Amino acid sequence: MDSALATLLATKLGERLLLPVRQRFDETEIRVSIAHATETLRILHDDPMLEFEMLIDLCGVDTGEEMQVVYHLSSSRSSDWLRLIVPGLERNAPRIASATSIWPGAEWMEREAYDMFGIIFEGNRDLRRIYMPDDYRSFPLRKDFYLADDASRSPAAGVRNMERAGTPQDATPATALRRTTGA
């Protein structure tokens, strides 16, 4: 936990941060809005006291109400991972500026976020599908894309419909809980 980093980020980024810097174990997390995302990344990359020159990961997150883009950065000056969350992308038209102007290697990671969520990265010169075929029409990792067999229930909730042996729906608890041995 690098507390010096927290104060440094607060001073450098100031009012761009939506929430105070959060730290847990060896991760530092900050949130900025969509409008400030690119300049925040540029400050993090270029500032000689921060020097976050490595982009470790870029991914999209669908929270159900909104979408987020999450960047993980690493610097040789700090022992913490830095997580930059950009919340507030609309679920039905998510757009954000691309990070490829700072890190050209983000191109494919943004392509993957587009392919899986539909997030448009403005400035990415090659924003097309990367995993799914070119004529695929859905965005698989969205929360309203359901896998087959209605697989959104937890395994802890009980036997799923496809696998349930013929127990009648209105069985009394004593019958339903009886386990057949071996058969």
Helix axes of 37-46 and 3-13: crossing angle, nearest 10 degrees? 120
Per rule CB under 8 A, is residue 86 in the interface with another protein?
no
Q: From 141, 144, 145, select the one nearest 130 (Cα to Cα).
A: 141
Give 6 or 70: the residue with its C-beta nearer to another protein: 70
Residue 37: name the closest of 94, 78, 76 by CA. 94
Stretch that binds another protein, among 2-10, 86-94, 97-105, 171-179 (CB under 8 A): 97-105
Q: Are 114 and 93 in contact (CB under 8 A)?
A: no
Decide: 120 and 114 in contact? Cβ < 8 Å. Answer: yes
Total residues contacting another protein (rule CB under 8 A)?
51
The span from the CA of 126 to the CA of 64, in Å, is: 27
Tell me which residues in 98-127 interact with another protein (CB under 8 A): 102-109, 112, 116, 125-127
Residues 161 to 180: which contact another protein by CB under 8 A? none
Residues of this chain that interact with another protein (CB under 8 A) are 24-27, 29, 53-57, 59, 61-62, 70, 72, 74, 76, 79, 81, 83, 102-109, 112, 116, 125-134, 140-141, 145, 147-149, 151-152, 154-156
